[in-house]
Amino acid sequence: MNADDGKDLADPAGGSPHPDHDPHEGLGARLNWLRAGVLGANDGIVSTAGLVVGVAGATDARSTLLASGIAGLLAGSLSMASGEYVSVSTQRDTEKAALALEKKELAETPEAEFEELVGLYRDKGLTEATARRVSEELTAHDALGAHAQTELGINPDELANPWHAAIASFVAFSVGALLPLLAIVLPPQNWRVPVTVISVLIALVVTGWVSARLGRAEPGRAILRNVIGGALAMGITYLVGTLIGKVD
């Protein structure tokens, strides 16, 4: 066996010889959660800022601003949480159904499933002999896990948790929404809208930069999109609120 074959045996997919304990895999999952949290906070900032600035265009009453801001925070965070729960639950159900079908196929046609696994590793660039040896060792160790990860891209031990997703979305949105809520109710009347707009735009610069860095993208464009979107949301809602206030 040459050096390349040895490399293939240790790393059939081009990664760690122990994929279940690959530090990069765990880091990638954590970064995905962190990026989702940043984007959830960004949604909380923009939607709540648009709401309270719009209400501020119609009325100066602090109690009304506080009530609308709290209502927007709760409605948005609960909507985000329920949406994530439904989405991730559907994903989890789909993954469990695929695993159940794979388990059934392994029990009924193990030879055909083995040949399929060999073909998958051969398609990755392994030689026929190496692909068979890797498939034999992985099948002997955990046939379902080998097929799930190689064929379906699913780790049976790490299925998505809908409650984790829902709680994370609720918290992220709420944290983001607190900024415009506090900015609109704490300053004196004449400073409420300017303080809210400035603080929100600064926060959007930060979330745009963080989300871009986590995704290894160019921060400039992400920041610009964030700031323009937030500014438009606040400007439009403030205009609408002002028009409604004049009608009253």
pLDDT average, residue stretch 151-155: 81
pLDDT at 106 > cutoff 60: yes
pLDDT at 8 > cutoff 50: no
Q: Which two tokens stand for residue 116?
A: 């399929």
Give the number of other Cβ atoms within 10 Å of residue 32's Cβ: 12
Neighbouring residues of 216: CB distance < 8 A, sequence distance ≥ 6: none
Q: Pick from 97, 94, 98: which is nearest to 86 by CA?
A: 94
> For 161-188, how does the pLDDT look when each residue is reduced to its tens digit (9 = 90+)?
888 888 989 999 999 999 999 999 999 9
User: Lowest-confidence range among 120-124, 224-228, 237-241?
Assistant: 120-124
Instruction: Calculate helix-pair angle for 3-10, 128-147, nearest 10 degrees.
Output: 10
pLDDT at 14 > cutoff 70: no
Report how far residue 174's alpha carbon sits from residue 55's, in angstroms, rounded to the nearest whole number: 19
What does the pLDDT read at residue 69? Answer: 94
More confident site: 239 or 147: 239
Instruction: Calculate helix-pair angle for 110-123, 62-108, nearest 10 degrees.
Output: 120
pLDDT average, residue stretch 30-52: 84
Cβ(146)–Cβ(135) under 8 Å?
yes
User: Lowest-confidence range among 82-86, 126-130, 230-234?
Assistant: 126-130
What does the pLDDT read at residue 47? Answer: 94
Report how far residue 19's alpha carbon sits from residue 25's, in angstroms, rounded to the nearest whole number: 8
178, with CB counted inside 10 A (0-12, 13-18, 19+), is middle
**Per-residue CA distances from 182 to 146, 176, 178 (Å):** 51, 11, 6
Report how far residue 147's alpha carbon sits from residue 173's, in angstroms, rounded to the nearest whole number: 37
> For 48-103, how does the pLDDT look when each residue is reduced to its tens digit (9 = 90+)?
999 999 999 999 899 999 999 999 999 999 999 999 899 989 988 988 888 898 88
Cβ(12)–Cβ(124) under 8 Å?
yes
Cβ(80)–Cβ(40) under 8 Å?
yes
Report how far residue 108's alpha carbon sits from residue 126's, in angstroms, rounded to the nearest whole number: 27
What does the pLDDT read at residue 137? Answer: 87
Q: Pick from 232, 171, 180, 196: which is nearest to 69 by CA?
A: 180
More confident site: 233 or 20: 233
What does the pLDDT read at residue 25? Answer: 47
User: Lowest-confidence range among 12-21, 154-163, 197-206?
Assistant: 12-21
Q: Where are the domains of the chain?
A: 32-247
Task: For residue 149, give the DSSP letter.
Answer: I
Give the number of other Cβ atoms within 10 Å of residue 125's Cβ: 13
More confident site: 123 or 196: 196
Report how far residue 59's alpha carbon sits from residue 114's, in angstroms, rounded to the nearest whole number: 70
Give the number of other Cβ atoms within 10 Å of residue 230's Cβ: 25
pLDDT at 244 > cutoff 80: yes
